[in-house]
A = this chain, B = another copy of it.
Amino acid sequence: MKVGIIGLGLIGGSMAVDLKRKGFADEVIGVEAEPVNAAAAEKIGLVDRMAGLDQCIGESDLIVLAVPVGAAVKMLPEVLDRFAEAGDEGKIVIDVCSTKEHLARSVRYHPQRRQYVASHPMAGTEYSGPWAAMPGLFDGHACIICDAEESYPKAVRTVESLYEALNMRTIYMNSSNHDVHTAYVSHISHVTSFALALTVLDKERDEKHIFDLASGGFSSTVRLAKSSPDMWTPILSQNRDNLLHVMDTYIEKMQAFRKAIDEGDEAAVRSLIEEANKIRRIIR
């Protein structure tokens, strides 16, 4: 199978390497709009060959849209348009984005909708670009396939085998539930890390040496604050309603801590910590 990957960053680049390595793809064709990234992807050897967007869509059996979700929302209907023009019902396009409702809405009534499979491989690091791509990135993680009933069953099976080749376990849900879940288990973590970084950076203006003391705990809590604005601006915008709901709960919890600490109510502080400790039964 010929796989075309549009966007050779962390996700697209890592997928390119492993789909070839695991034998799922006979050939990987890469598209990268940013010239510096394209040159790097080529030099690193992430794909078999680079191509223009039209050529890639024309020649590939399966296309992976590995661009930020803002760009994906625009490109997805265009790719399906191209499938229609080519009259080829066998071609498949997938996305790998962290929000799904906007994407789903963008092609809901598209005549080629069933050639699209919505998928979200839940793996990544705080780094981005072709330099961040690595073999094994997806290994052992979960992949969500959304609204599978909207796609051709054969297309879904092909995408399942793609993620099997990446050694991921597949979970199924609709786009709307997907976006609620990711707001809780991914998006809010990024916002809390960004806010933590901003807080400490504010202080650093006066106290240059504050970071000399930064502990391992701080580093792990603030790590996601290094994440790319190109990727995260559209995610936070597109998952607006779910995220605002989670942020409001989060701010309430912070206010509960603030009140307990402000009032010197050690029993209340202890009880909040004990409640939070229940995360132990879930996160190893």
Give the B-binding residues of A (Cβ under 8 A): 122-126, 141-142, 144, 171, 180-182, 184-186, 188-204, 207, 210-229, 232-234, 236-237, 240, 243-244, 246-251, 253-258, 261-262, 264, 266, 269-270, 272-280, 282-283
Contacts and interface: CB of A to CB of B under 8 A. Distances in A.
A185 B171 contact: no
A222 B226 CA distance: 17
A264 B191 CA distance: 15
B262 A240 contact: yes
Given A195-B253, A195-B276, A198-B276, 16 more contacts: A122-B215, A123-B216, A185-B210, A189-B217, A192-B195, A193-B276, A197-B276, A199-B250, A200-B279, A201-B278, A203-B246, A217-B223, A225-B277, A228-B273, A237-B266, A251-B254
B279 A225 contact: yes
A64 to B, nearest CB: 20
Contact of A215 (B123, B207, B219, B269): B123
Question: What is the interface of chain A mostly: helix, strand, loop, or mixed?
Answer: helix
B188 A199 contact: yes
Ordered nearest first, which 4 A-B pairs have the shortest CB separation? Answer: A197-B279, A229-B273, A194-B276, A197-B276
A227 to B, nearest CB: 7
11 contacts: A122-B215, A142-B213, A180-B207, A195-B253, A199-B246, A199-B250, A200-B279, A214-B283, A220-B223, A237-B266, A251-B254
- Chain multiplicity (copies): 2
Contacts of A198: 253, 256, 272, 275-276
Contacts of A220: 220-221, 223-224
A194 B232 CA distance: 24
A249 B193 CA distance: 14
Contacts of A199: 184, 188, 246, 249-250, 253
A136 B126 CA distance: 28
A194 B273 contact: yes
Contacts of A180: 207
Given A185-B218, A215-B186, A251-B251, A233 B279 contact: no
Contact of A226 (B207, B213, B279): B279
Nearest to A201: B278
Contacts of A244: 258, 261-262
Contact of A232 (B186, B250, B273, B282): B273
Contacts of A279: 197, 200-201, 222, 225-226
